[in-house]
Structure 1
């Protein structure tokens, strides 16, 4: 693997990974008290402040994330209205809801903080996005919508009821950030500039063309060219870990596939890409700035 360049590694991923378009996004009927546990009374527009897992097999997903990252899974609601909150050290890190797609794979969907969800969703629609779930108010959570951008990447727009989490370096075994793999980076940059307010900054410290989405001086997300244009664009979540090899070993024992092993060609061997047991892509990275 180390002898392959980044583009070849990514192409290998997408010969394995076949992501279906979302037929149903996480729209919980139950209302777990998320906002009151993570809000800090201020807002950071542009930051990815929440994560939803759309899972075709919540039991398998819960077992995986508990065993690999030490999360606990707390159920809310009953029957078809049931949702689950993932927690790390009793702090919410994500929400899971059951859904089914054509190929039965799962997907993590990040939520970008915006000042007005209805306005941002309308703007997204005017810019060519598909509205999966229009802006809605959810008790104990805030206002949220689910969309697919013009290149097909699933994302949500959110205004948490009590404010966003305070910006800080992610703790180990929690979400470190999001990265957009776009079929059309120029068009994606324009879309998110219009809808969210991002400015796109090219960086020269990568071996491939790489863009950072910024709000003022704040880095919010990354973007790179999707090396497999026949597969829709999508957002990839990163989880910070302390020991990459140990995490990979735990993940494979728990049923994950390793799509990209650590390699000097990719961030000095600090990152790997996994496919969890339901088919949801997730990257794991050792990050010690």
Structure 2
């Protein structure tokens, strides 16, 4: 997976050197405020951008808008006029696609150094990327991939997710106790625990605000993962669309799992994602 992160960074760096093609991410999503601890952006590393583009269009009505050409090409997923994520191509015989969430931190270099001292593997050190800001990529001690970011113009507005956009991020950890300690040290999270079904559910909080969730990994075929959630209006309809578009369903909607409101998918490139009905 190391070259996955290298390719993502190279894609961002090389495209920023090409006049007129740098995707206008921060100018379209940023405000003047920062909200540390929140997952504020999502990147998809895809071995087949055409397949990924078709899937996310069919299931969530996202348009993949291209920027650059050849090896410098990336895509911005948009829901209507709203950017929801970036996709870059990478070539791998042994790996699959993956969504990588970006956690807002005040100082990317400091947080990255702390992560390393706590046992993380630094996949790509902190670097400044035009039209994004400072960013690094890490693999936590349990194998989950995440990026640390300080967007150049501030974080997106904190507001309820619209249908068809990212609802939140959840860490499916093979060792939740270890993960809780790691993210408390690296990000500054506090934790709150509650019972959920047969196990314990942890909420990561920053300054009293809920930022992400964590549970014991319920999918033994997967390593530890940060799993992105996308809000949908009808989970069964979405699952049917996803199947038709080439997804594999790992966890079907079931009454005993969050009242049948959620499902876990692997998109056609193997990237895990969850879909959930959310009615606040």
Aligned residue-pair number:
269
> Structure 2: which 5+ runs fail to align?
16-21
Q: Deviations over 1:133-154 (max 9, x none)?
A: 1111111111111110011100
Residue in structure 2 matched with residue 23 of structure 1 by the alignment: 3
Distance (whole Å) between structure 2 residues aligned to residue 242 and residue 276 of structure 1: 19
Q: Does 1:147 align with 2:138?
A: yes
Partner of 2:19 in structure 1? none
How far off its partner does 1:104 sit? Answer: 3.5
Q: Hey, what's the Cα distance between the residues in 2 that align with 1:45 and 1:70?
A: 30
Give the Cα–Cα distance (whole angstroms) in 2 for the partners of residues 267 and 108 of structure 1. 23
Q: TM-score, normalised by structure 2?
A: 0.92
Partner of 1:223: 214
Which residue number in structure 2 is paired with residue 56 of structure 1? 47
Q: For residues 236-255 of structure 1, what are the structure 2 equivalents within 5 Å?
A: 236-255=227-246
Q: Where in structure 2 are the equivalents of 1:272-287 lying within 5 Å?
A: 272-287=263-278
Residue among 150, 168, 176 paired with 2:159: 168
Asked if the contact 1:24/1:132 (under 8 Å) is kept, the reply is: no
CA distance in 2 between counterparts of 1:278 and 1:205 reads 30
2:150 equivalent to 1:195:
no
Structure 1 unpaired stretches of 5+: 1-20
Equivalent of 2:99 in 98, 102, 108? 108
Higher RCO (CA-CA < 8 Å; seq separation 6+): 1
Q: Which moved more, 1:23-32 or 1:49-58?
A: 23-32
Distance in 2, Cα, partners of 1:263 & 1:103? 32
Looking at structure 1, the residues matched to 92 and 193 of structure 2 have their Cα atoms a distance apart, in angstroms, of 35
* d(CA) in 2 for partners of 1:258, 1:274: 5
Does 1:178 pair with 2:169? yes
Secondary structure at the counterpart of residue 199 of structure 2: coil
Secondary structure in 2 aligned to 1:232? Answer: coil
Q: Find the counterpart in structure 2 of residue 47 from structure 1.
A: 38
| Alpha-carbon distance, 1:227 to partner | 4.1
Q: CA deviation at 1:178?
A: 0.6
**CA–CA distance in 1 between the matches of 2:38 and 2:197?**
22
Q: Does residue 88 of the first structure (1) align with residue 79 of the second (2)?
A: yes
Q: Which residue of 2 aligns with 1:7?
A: none
1:125 aligns with 2:116: yes
CA drift at 1:157: 0.3
* Per-residue deviation, 1:252: 1.2
**1:31-83: CA deviation from partner (whole Å, max 9, x where unpaired):** 31100100011000000000000100011001110111011111111211111
Deviation at 1:228, TM superposition (A): 5.7
